[in-house]
Structures are given as C-alpha cells and as structure tokens.
C-alpha cells in the first residue's frame, strides 16, 4: 500500500449509490460531514455503471425515472453539504480504535479516514458481469455481446437475445422491445423470477 493520506470526518459512507448519496443528505441535515468511498470511478453505483437509461418504477413520488436522472437528483440534493468523494478506491481495512472511540478506514489507494460512524451502503458490493464459460467470448464483447445497456438507442432496429430470467433481464426485454426489431428472452429455468407486474407486461408483449 502507498503512503497514507489521512482525513478526519464525522461519517464515512462506503458506497455512492442511491442509498449512500441520500445518506449524505440525511447526515448533512444533522450537521455531520461525510467522506464517501466507492470502488467505481464514478458516483452512482450500479444505476450509473450498468443501466443509466433504464426506467426505475419503485422510487417514491416518481412513477418512472431513469437511473441517471435519479443519481443526478440525489447528487444535487447532497451538494450543499460538501461531501468528499474517494472514487476508484476499495475499502481494504476497517479498524475500531476503542480507546479513541473512532473507526479507521483504509483504502486501496492509501487513503486513511477516521470517523465516529461508518455507514455501509455498498449494496451487493463491488461487482462484475457474470460471464458464461464460452471460448473466445471476449472477441465479441462490446461488439455483439454486452453485459449491460448504457444507451438504448444503440440497439435500435437490432435483433436482440437476452440471457436471463430475473428482474434486469425482463425489464430490459420490455424496454428494448420499444425500439428493437426483435427481442428474444432465453432463461435456463421454466419460470422467470421477476416482479409480477413486469411479468404481466412481458406476457402482453409476447
């Protein structure tokens, strides 16, 4: 590990997705300063990294909002409280200093943050695509094989096969059906594992 860069703050938030960003606002309302650590090099977690254009339907007061718009709004809401972001860094060590009654967080880039409180808002943690064990698959990645959709428009008029049967697969099948020439959904199990309302909409399209 490189030489440590030290900070002292009220709260360390691990994860900069929607929950982490809203935690900045809530802490700020109680006059607590926050430092935020995230393994990604951008704020927003999976909403920004995997599906910025995907409609989200389960946010209070928003019948539908994209991942990108949700993160933009949450960042704007947190801005008045001047959070400090440590992006592209993994938390590698968390130690309780019992004598001083503080937590010490150390990251992969040599950042050391001391705080009274730690909020873990990491969701499923650092993530990567679940790739099928196929030979030479990497030759087609980002050409005809994709693990997430950043721009729906890139798939306009295309014939698309989506492998999966959970919420993400079903939601993308519904969303991309609006502009693709054809969408085929392939799942290894006899039943999909998505929200009932999503399955109802999928059945209407089939």
pLDDT digits 0-9 by tens, 161-170: 999 999 889 9
Question: What is residue 125's three-state secondary structure?
Answer: coil
- pLDDT for residue 2 is more than 80: no
Give the list of residues 6+ apart from residue 131 with CB closer than 8 angstroms, or none.
137, 147
Q: Are strands 34-38 and 5-14 parallel, antiparallel or unpaired?
A: parallel
- 102 within domain boundaries: yes
CATH number of the domain to which 197 belongs: 3.50.50.60
**Which of 67, 85, 120 is at the close of a domain?**
120
Domain-embedded: residue 152 = yes
> Is 130 inside any structural domain?
no
Instruction: Tell whether 143 and 50 lie within a shared domain.
Output: no
Residue 127 CA: distances (Å) to CA of 28, 39, 90, 166: 28, 9, 12, 17
End position of a domain, from candidates 92, 120, 148 = 120
- Do 102 and 14 sit in the same domain of this protein? yes
110 and 161 co-located in one domain: no
Give the domain range for residue 42.
5-120
Q: Which of 57, 85, 120 is the last residue of a domain?
A: 120
Residue 125 domain-assigned (yes or no): no
* Residue owning tokens 């938390």: 91
Q: Are residues 152 and 67 in the same domain?
A: no
- In a shared domain, residues 84 and 29: yes
Do residue 116 and residue 152 come from a single domain? no
Q: Residues 79, 146: one domain? A: no
Within-domain flag for 129: no
Provide the pLDDT for residue 7: 97
- Judge whether 131 lies within some domain: no
User: Is residue 118 predicted with pLDDT exceeding 60?
Assistant: yes
For residue 35, is it within any domain? yes
Q: What is the pTM of this model?
A: 0.76
- pLDDT tens per residue across span 67-96: 999 999 999 999 999 999 999 999 999 999
Question: Is pLDDT of 185 > 70?
Answer: yes
pLDDT band at 3 (very low <50, low <70, confident <90, very high): low
Determine, yes or no, domain membership for 189. yes
Give the pLDDT of residue 53.
87
Tens of pLDDT, residue by residue over 13-25, are 999 999 999 999 9
Closest CA to 151 of 179, 181, 186: 179
Question: What are the E-state strand segments in 101-146?
Answer: 102-107, 111-120
Residue-level pLDDT at 45: 92
- The H helix count followed by the E strand count for the chain is 5, 10
Average pLDDT over residues 175-203: 93
| 108 and 145 co-located in one domain | no
| Predicted local confidence at residue 123, as pLDDT | 81
Rounded to the nearest integer, the mean pLDDT of the chain is 92
């Amino acid at each position: 590990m490189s030489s440590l860069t030290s900070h002292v703050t009220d709260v360390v938030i691990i994860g900069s997705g929607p929950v982490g960003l809203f935690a900045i606002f809530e802490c700020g309302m109680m006059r607590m300063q926050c430092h935020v650590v995230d393994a990604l090099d951008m704020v927003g977690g999976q909403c920004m990294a995997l599906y910025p254009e995907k409609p989200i339907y389960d946010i209070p007061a928003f019948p539908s909002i994209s991942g990108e718009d949700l993160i933009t709004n949450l960042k704007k809401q947190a801005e008045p409280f001047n959070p400090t972001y440590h992006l592209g860094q993994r938390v590698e060590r968390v130690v309780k200093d019992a004598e001083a009654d503080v937590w010490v967080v150390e990251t992969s880039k040599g950042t050391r943050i001391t705080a009274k409180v730690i909020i873990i808002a990491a969701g499923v943690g650092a993530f990567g695509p679940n790739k099928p064990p196929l030979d030479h698959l990497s030759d087609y990645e980002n050409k005809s094989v994709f693990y997430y959709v950043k721009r729906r428009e890139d798939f306009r008029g295309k014939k698309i096969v989506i492998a999966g049967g959970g919420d993400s697969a079903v939601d993308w099948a519904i969303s991309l059906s609006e502009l693709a020439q054809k969408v085929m959904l392939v799942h290894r199990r006899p039943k999909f594992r998505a929200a009932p309302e999503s399955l109802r909409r999928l059945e209407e399209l089939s």
